[in-house]
């Protein structure tokens, strides 16, 4: 078999799949976004920019998402980094595999069920009544942005821990020893050695989490009590409540555009920071 023929044969099923289930749907979204809403909902063909002009009506949802998604990513990062460092550098090698598996295991339960567990913990009869017993008043936790953040960190922490772990594991431990032998304080070692060398993992992890957060619907729905509204929630309502497909398509197209721009810029910046090395992979 000629190599080029083999290449095309090997590629054919994947190409067909991507064309039918990715390119075609995205093109349909783009076409619909210029249409108008039918009297009973749905789509009527048209060529109008009205939906895009109207995007301001969902500005609040974009704003919430663009604040909470980076914030959630950052929180995940701050919590994940020390754990990844512990696993890669400090943990007893005999236990390392087990400890790593323990990080993914929660991931194997449905995100729905895990979020539901947080309803019980953050609900009035859970943590708040414990706090009240300590005499510090009874705070309201469930159905707040805080609850949504807890759900986000809980849901996506493993996605952040793993890439950072992989990056740190490759790190030559002699570098760390050298740094401390030369008398530099731990914080400086962190700033000048471990952090820069883990940047590829940080980039991959944050990107994964950020992408998922930008399209999040379930966690704000379940832990935000319908009061914390992401673009994902706006999209679900546009398609399943007001049935305004063209406007929904315009919101979806804008979301994809915003993500393409932010993620590409972010990857560029990270590449520059990590010294132009090419190991900032998608996974």
Partner 1 sequence: MRLYALAVYLFLYIPIGIIALFSFNAGRHAAQLTGFSLQWYGKALDNPFVIGALKTSFTVALISATLATLCGTLAAVALQGMRGRARMLYDAALYVAVMVPGIVIGIATLIALVTVFDAVNPLLLQAFGAEAPQLGLGKGSLIAAHGMFTMALVVVIVRARLQGMDRALLEASADLGAPPMRTFLQVTLPQIAPAVLAGFLLAFTFSFDDFIIAFFVAGSETTLPIYVFSSIRRGVTPEINAIGTMVLVASLLVLITAQMMLRRRAR
Partner 2 sequence: MTTDRVQPGSKTNIRETKMTKYRDHIPAKEFLTHLESLRKGSISRRHFLAVTGIGAATSLLAASLPGRAFAQAIGDRVGIATWPNYHDPANLDAFRDATGAAVDVNVFGSNEEMLAKLQAGATGWDVVVATNYTISTYVEEGIIQELDLTQIPNFDRAATDPRFADPGVIDGKTYAIPRNIGTTGYCVNSNDLEGAEAKSWKDFWDLARDKLSGRAMVHDYQLTAIGNALKYYGYSFNSVDSAELADAEKLLIEAKPHLFAINSDYQPSMRSGDASMSMCWTGDAVQLQRDMPEILYVLGTEGGELWSDFFTIPTSAPNKAAAYALINFLLEPQMAAKEALFHGYPTGDSRVDALLPEEMRNSEILYPAADLLNALEFGAAVTLTNPERAEIMARFKAA
Measured CA to CA in angstroms, residue 251 lies from 35, 55, 70, 150 at distances of: 13, 7, 19, 27
∠ CA 254-258-260, nearest 5°, is 115
Q: Compute the least distance from the CB of residue 67 to partner 1, in Å.
A: 17
Which region holds residue 171: left if phi is over 0, alpha if psi is between -120 and 50, else beta? beta
Q: Compute the least distance from the CB of residue 2 to partner 2, in Å.
A: 44
| Contact residues: partner 2, CB under 8 A | 37, 39-42, 57-58, 60-61, 64, 123-125, 140, 142-143, 225-227, 229, 233-234, 237-244
Q: Compute the least distance from the CB of residue 110 to partner 2, in Å.
A: 18
∠ CA 153-258-50, nearest 5°, is 125
Selected from 62, 154, 156, 229, the binder of partner 1 by CB under 8 A is 154
How many residues touch partner 1 (CB under 8 A)? 77
Selected from 40, 105, 134, 182, the binder of partner 1 by CB under 8 A is 105
Closer to partner 2 at the Cβ: 73 or 143? 143
Sign of the dihedral defined by the CA atoms of residues 152, 158, 162, 168, in that order: positive
Comparing CA positions, the residue from 180, 199, 169 lying closest to residue 91 is 169
Residue 29's binding partner among partner 1, partner 2, none (Cβ under 5 to 8 angstroms by kind) is partner 1
Q: Compute the least distance from the CB of residue 135 to partner 2, in Å.
A: 20
**How far apart (Å, rounded) are the C-alpha atoms in residues 186 and 1?**
59
Binding mask 234-253 for partner 1 (x = CB under 8 A): -xx--x-----x--xx--x-
Those residues whose C-beta lies under 8 Å from the C-beta of residue 20, and which sit 6 or more positions away, are: none
Query: Could you say which residues in the range 254-283 bind partner 1, by CB under 8 A?
Result: 255-256, 259-260, 263, 281-283
Closer to partner 1 at the Cβ: 117 or 273? 117
Closer to partner 2 at the Cβ: 50 or 279? 50
Query: Could you say which residues in the range 158-187 bind partner 1, by CB under 8 A?
Result: none
Burial of 283 (0-12, 13-18, 19+ CB in 10 A): exposed
Under rule CB under 8 A, residue 114 binds partner 1: yes
Residue 98's binding partner among partner 1, partner 2, none (Cβ under 5 to 8 angstroms by kind) is none
Under rule CB under 8 A, residue 7 binds partner 1: yes
Comparing CA positions, the residue from 20, 22, 31, 32 lying closest to residue 239 is 32
């Amino acid at each position: 078999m000629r190599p080029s023929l083999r290449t095309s044969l090997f590629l054919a099923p994947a190409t067909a799949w991507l064309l039918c289930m990715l390119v075609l749907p995205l093109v349909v979204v783009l076409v619909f976004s210029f249409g108008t809403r039918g009297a009973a909902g749905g789509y009527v063909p048209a060529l109008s920019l009205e939906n895009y002009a109207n995007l301001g009506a969902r500005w609040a949802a974009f704003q919430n998402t663009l604040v909470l998604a980076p914030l959630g990513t950052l929180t995940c990062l701050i919590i994940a980094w020390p754990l990844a460092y512990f696993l890669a550098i400090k943990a007893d090698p005999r236990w390392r595999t087990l400890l790593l598996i323990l990080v993914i295991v929660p991931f194997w339960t449905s995100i729905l069920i895990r979020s539901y567990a947080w309803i019980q913990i953050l609900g009035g009869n859970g943590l708040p009544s414990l706090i009240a017993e300590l005499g510090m008043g009874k705070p309201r936790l469930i159905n707040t942005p805080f609850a949504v953040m807890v759900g986000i960190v809980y849901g996506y922490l493993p996605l952040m821990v793993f890439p950072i772990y992989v990056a740190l594991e490759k790190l030559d431990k002699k570098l760390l020893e050298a740094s401390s032998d030369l008398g530099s304080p731990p914080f400086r070692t962190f700033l000048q050695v471990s952090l820069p060398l883990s940047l590829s993992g940080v980039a991959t992890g944050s990107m994964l989490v950020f992408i998922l957060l930008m399209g999040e619907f379930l966690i704000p729905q379940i832990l935000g009590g319908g009061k914390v509204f992401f673009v994902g929630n706006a999209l679900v309502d546009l398609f399943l409540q007001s049935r305004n497909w063209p406007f929904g398509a315009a919101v979806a197209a804008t979301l994809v555009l915003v993500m393409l721009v932010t993620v590409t810029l972010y990857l560029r910046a990270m590449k520059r920071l990590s010294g132009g090395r090419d190991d900032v992979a998608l996974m």
